[in-house]
């Protein structure tokens, strides 16, 4: 007499099949949850990168604009100084003409 008869083997095989099927279903569910989480994290990371790139471009534009303004202010100050110097030279020349006359 064997340890298991035919019906016991059938029941064992059915139980094993159900256990394996349940395990496979749980693994698939876990896999899908993991993929969904990773996709969410990837989308968040991509959005963060895009926002960071936009912020950097905005900061770069601000920096360039500040540089242009500083350059123009410097040029305007130089022009003003040259103009004042030329006016002072002209006034000096006129004063020396008046003295000579």
Write out pLDDT tens, residues 68-81: 999 999 999 999 99
Query: From its phi and psi, is residue 5 left (phi > 0), alpha (psi between -120 and 50) or beta?
Result: beta
Dump pLDDT digits (tens) for 13-54.
999 999 999 999 999 999 999 999 999 999 999 999 999 999
Tokens of 30: 């876990």
pLDDT value of position 21: 98
12 Cβ neighbours under 8 A, 6+ residues apart:
4
User: With a threshold of 0.75, does the pTM exceed it?
Assistant: no
What span, in angstroms and rounded, lies between the C-alpha atoms of 82 and 88?
10
d(CA 19, CA 25): 10
């Amino acid at each position: 007499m064997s340890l298991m008869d035919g019906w016991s083997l059938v029941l064992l095989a059915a139980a094993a099949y159900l256990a394996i099927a349940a395990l496979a279903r749980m693994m698939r569910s876990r896999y899908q949850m993991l993929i969904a989480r990773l996709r969410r994290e990837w989308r968040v990371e991509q959005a963060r990168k895009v926002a960071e790139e936009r912020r950097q471009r905005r900061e770069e534009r601000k920096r360039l604009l500040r540089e242009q303004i500083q350059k123009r202010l410097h040029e305007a100050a130089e022009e003003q100084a040259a103009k004042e110097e030329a006016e002072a030279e002209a006034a000096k020349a006129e004063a020396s003409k008046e003295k000579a006359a």
